[in-house]
């Protein structure tokens, strides 16, 4: 992978080559999960776009690295963190890492895009009982910007318990946020 993304080259053959390598890494990650992790990590260093595979197939091991990548200042690390955080993951992986995701979501110093992506994952994987906990965290947040992350998690859950919070938002005067 000489280019970071297939779209970075105008030549169709190079673009096809990049995507072929990406798809091969994806298949390896699915078939030979443990054996291929080091290779996928190495390729993600070359191409931040490959970090999607780290997020998708190695979520439990990648989640702790998101904060490190987002704050490192190294070329490509912020993109690597955002791409890995946005990757679709298994509900079981989200459930297993829920406490870690909530800790990052509640950290006002964490990267905003990572927090937004984690809010989506938390909301989609939350049980009905956990929605009330998210609403409590929403109400305890110190400002509107912080409350929006928790509101995102609550609203994406599609829980009937989100309706009162949704009504509160609908009744508020409009603001730019």
Number of domains forming the structure of the chain:
1
Once rounded to an integer, what is the mean pLDDT over residues 118-123? 98
With beta carbons less than 8 A apart as the criterion, state whether 169 and 152 touch.
Answer: no
With beta carbons less than 8 A apart as the criterion, state whether 108 and 149 touch.
Answer: no
Count CA atoms within 13 Å of residue 82 on its CB side: 7
pLDDT of residue 85: 98
Contacts of 128 (CB under 8 A, 6+ apart): 159, 161
Is residue 128 a part of any domain in this protein? no
Is residue 147 a part of any domain in this protein? no
What token pair was written down for 9?
Answer: 């080259």
Whole-number CA gyration radius for the chain:
18
Residue 160 has pLDDT above 70, yes or no: yes
Which residue range(s) make up the domain with 45?
A: 6-89
Is residue 32 a part of any domain in this protein? yes
In angstroms, the CA 139 to CA 126 distance is 18
Is residue 10 a part of any domain in this protein? yes
Residue 7 has pLDDT above 60, yes or no: no
pLDDT of residue 64: 95
Is residue 46 a part of any domain in this protein? yes
Supply the pTM of this predicted model. 0.87
In angstroms, the CA 1 to CA 112 distance is 29
Once rounded to an integer, what is the mean pLDDT over residues 120-144? 96
């Amino acid at each position: 992978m000489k280019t970071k993304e297939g779209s970075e080259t105008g030549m169709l053959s190079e673009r096809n080559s990049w995507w072929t390598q990406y798809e091969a890494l994806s298949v390896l990650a699915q078939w030979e999960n443990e054996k291929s992790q080091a290779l996928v990590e190495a390729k993600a260093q070359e191409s931040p776009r490959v970090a999607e595979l780290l997020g998708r197939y190695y979520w439990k091991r990648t989640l702790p690295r998101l904060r490190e990548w987002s704050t490192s200042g190294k070329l490509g690390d912020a993109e690597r963190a955002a791409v890995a955080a946005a990757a679709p993951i298994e509900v079981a992986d989200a459930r297993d890492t829920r406490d870690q995701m909530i800790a990052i979501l509640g950290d006002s110093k964490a990267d905003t895009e990572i927090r937004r992506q984690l809010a989506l994952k938390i909301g989609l994987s939350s049980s009905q009982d956990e929605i009330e906990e998210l609403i409590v965290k929403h109400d305890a947040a110190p400002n509107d910007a912080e409350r929006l992350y928790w509101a995102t998690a609550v609203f994406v859950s599609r829980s009937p318990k989100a309706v009162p919070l949704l009504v509160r938002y609908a009744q508020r005067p409009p603001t730019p946020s």
